[in-house]
Amino acid sequence: MSPRCSRMVCGSFVRRLIACTALTAAALAPNLNAQFYWDRNAATAGAGTGATLSGTWDGGTANWNTTADGTTAAETFTSGGDAIFSAGTSAIGQTYTVTVSTTRNVSSIDVQHGTVTFTGGTAINFNDATPTFTVGSGLTTTVNTNITSSGTGSNLTKAGAGTLVFASNDKGYTGTTNITAGTLDLAFNQSFSTVNLSGGTLKLSSATNTITNLNVTATSTIDFGGAVASLTATNFTIATGVTLNIINWTGASDHFYVTNWLDGGSGAGVRDTTNAAPMNQVVFASFPASSTGWRTGTNEVAPIPEPSTYGALLLGATTGLMLWRRRRNRLTKAD
């Protein structure tokens, strides 16, 4: 065989060997993105989750289906898969509880039907590099179980137009929390490393919440919906041209503290820029944007009345006092 033919045969063999090796590796590697639908009544056509929706999420019970309509045989959840709640349509409008056993590794969670509460167990651990927790429009999902993350970057994105409630404990993951849609409701004191508000709502139903880096990258909302709510941000930035809306604010009991208000992340403080960007990009409901201030000494962001407002209040009080004196004088003369 000529050297040229020998090289051709050898090259063809190497290419076939590489292709075969790749196919074998793909077949043997675990599918970390396999989709599993919560299904308590598998293989019943059209029934999906059936009448009994509550159950235990463990490594052995066949509470799952790999088809969205829930018409195939029940299966166990494969560690690292995508967890979707739920198969079929019978969970629509229903309330159910998923009891977590030990630690469940998951790539993402997508709640599409029903009002779900996760409880028990050690943790729900997101082991994907960019995990998402999606709650569909009009739905509320409550997580009493701890949340951890072993994926690269330890990030977690709250997606979907529904409400995700963090309750019962301070969640254990330490990476970035991205709120892109819907509401993340903090119903228990929470502490976060970095929160990016990118179009959703951060609701404060608990008393005390701390964030090291709070970044507003798209028009978003902070809802001081709790009876007494406090948010402390070490570093705060807001992108050019976007608005942070503050709603359900009660000045006597709610507090929003910012240690370092950074101008676009440049590191430059923007104290004493009332009625100018970026401070007037934070708008408290029922107050004009021009009233937002950063109180020196307390680092509290709040609606601060302008001098003209104080003048109007003083004028009103003075007028009321004069009218009261005139009425009193008339009554005295009548006696």
Name the token pair of 228.
């007494």
Give the C-alpha separation, 282 to 146, whole Å. 32
Model pTM above 0.85: no
Q: Is 154 helix (H, G, I), strand (E, B) or coil?
A: coil
For 118, half-sphere exposure in the C-beta direction (CA atoms, 13 angstrom radius) is 32
- DSSP H helices in the chain: 3-28, 307-334
Residue 328 CA to residue 51 CA, distance in Å, equals 74
147 neighbors 127 (Cβ within 8 angstroms): no
Whole-angstrom CA distances from 173 to 44, 57, 72, 101, 148 are 38, 20, 35, 19, 4
Q: Do 199 and 218 contact (CB within 8 A), yes or no?
A: yes
Nearest to 301 by CA among 319, 282, 278: 282
* CA-based radius of gyration for the chain: 28
Rounded CA separation 172/312 (Å): 50
Q: Which residue has 């779900």 as its token pair?
A: 116
pLDDT confidence of residue 20: 44
The pLDDT, as a whole number, for residue 268 is 64
Amino acid at 205: S
Query: What is the chain's pLDDT, residue by residue, as a tens digit (335 residues)?
Result: 555 444 444 455 445 544 444 433 433 334 446 999 999 865 444 444 455 789 999 999 999 999 998 888 889 999 999 999 998 888 899 999 999 999 999 999 999 999 999 999 999 999 998 899 999 999 999 999 999 998 766 789 999 999 999 999 999 988 899 999 999 999 999 999 999 999 999 999 988 999 999 999 999 999 999 788 999 999 999 999 999 999 999 988 999 999 988 876 565 666 657 888 889 999 999 999 999 998 878 899 999 874 434 444 444 545 555 555 666 665 555 55
What number of helices (H) and strands (E) belong to the chain? 2, 26
pLDDT score at 262: 86
Cβ atoms of residues 65 and 39 within 8 Å = yes
Is the CB of residue 201 less than 8 Å from the CB of residue 223?
yes
Q: How far apart are the first and last CA of the chain?
A: 135
SS3 (DSSP) at 322: helix
